[in-house]
Amino acid sequence: MNAWPSWLDGLRTQFNQRIEQDRMPHALLLGGAAGLGKRALLEWLVARLLCQLPEGEQACGTCHGCRLRRAGTHPDLVRVSREVNREGRQRTEIVVDQVRILRAQVTLSSQFGGWRITVLDPADRLNMAAANALLKTLEEPGGNTLLALVADQPWRLPPTLRSRCQAVNFALPDPQQALAWLQKQGIPDCATALAAAQGNPGRALALVGDGALARRDQVRRDLIALLCHEADVLETVGQWKQDEPQERLRFAAEWLAEQTCALAKGETGPLRIKRDIWTWSGLFEQANQAREALRGPLRPDLVLMDFLSLRVSTMEVRSVRVNRR
């Protein structure tokens, strides 16, 4: 996120007061969907705590502490993330050895006599052994130490670990604030982008940035054309396969969910075709199944072919629902 998320101004002020009144917790869990500003707040907090001459809420940017932090060499700041393994691939988890090394570092005292900060990101990727090892660190916090966990999916952390941290939950900001922020970034059609991102401003920015918003609308038009038999399935499969198939399936699922909700409220919905609610919810389910299947060993064109045929009879859907009960 390039610009400061203005909807976090209040939270930043609260944290600043806590720092000034010496009421900072030893462990924080910053949790919530990507795009809501968790990491921006964290970086502000790290900068503010490590600065030796803060100016109000802001780090000065020029003192020794600030210079070391900006160079990435501050001895009192440790960052733990997923490492690259021997085969050169990024590990899917944060492993116990990383936490052991961390514990050794945390028990040292601060080199500058100020704060010692450890950042674990993404904390929802700690494996069980690593989470247990981390719990031990939390049992023996020293003065002026901060352990900051950042997680897009905080519920994935073990409850024992979560309960030891003070949770900061990042929710969707007020739409007006989100729109004002997007406008400042020079986004042309903010309202459309924000709606496409379901109210998440950071995600809206990302959608516009890599042309995903245009792809999302293309997916909607493809679904309509296929359902009206005005497009060729094979041709559409070819286009989807070449360009972000996983993302296109997610967009399809989102449109179908929106369509299902609209119909339930008696509205026309974004796909503007008459089908019953079972058809839309059945197609929604199939889009999600296709997303899963695409991660597996099946050929992508076959998975896409299966979904884009958009065959769902009311009877089939009903029988699936009955069987699952």
Site for Zn ion, rule CB under 5 A: 51, 59-60, 63, 66
**Distance of closest approach, residue 116 Cβ to Zn ion, in angstroms:** 17
CB of 64 to Zn ion, least distance (A): 8
Q: Which residue, 59 or 117, has its beta carbon nearer to Zn ion?
A: 59
Backbone angles phi, psi at 30, to 5 degrees: -90, 110
Q: Which is nearer to Zn ion, 60 or 128 (CB)?
A: 60
Residue 62 or 313: which CB sits closer to Zn ion?
Answer: 62
* Rounded Cα gap, residues 157 and 152, in angstroms: 11
Q: Cβ of residue 66: shortest distance to Zn ion, in angstroms?
A: 3
Cis peptide leading into residue 122 (ω within 30°): yes
For residue 93, give every residue at least 6 positions away whose Cβ sits within 8 Å of its Cβ, in sequence order, or none.
82, 125, 126, 127, 130
Q: Taking Cα atoms as reference points, which of 274, 272, 282, 277 lies closest to residue 261?
A: 277
Query: What's the rounded Cα separation, in Å, for the pair 109 and 104?
Result: 11
Residue 50 near residue 76, CB atoms below 8 Å? yes
Shortest Cβ 58–Zn ion spacing (Å):
9
* Nearest-angstrom CA–CA distance, 260 and 276: 9
Residue closer to Zn ion, measured from CB, 63 or 129: 63
| Minimal distance, residue 67 CB to Zn ion, in Å | 8
Q: Which is nearer to Zn ion, 74 or 125 (CB)?
A: 74
φ and ψ of 91, to 5 deg = -65, 150
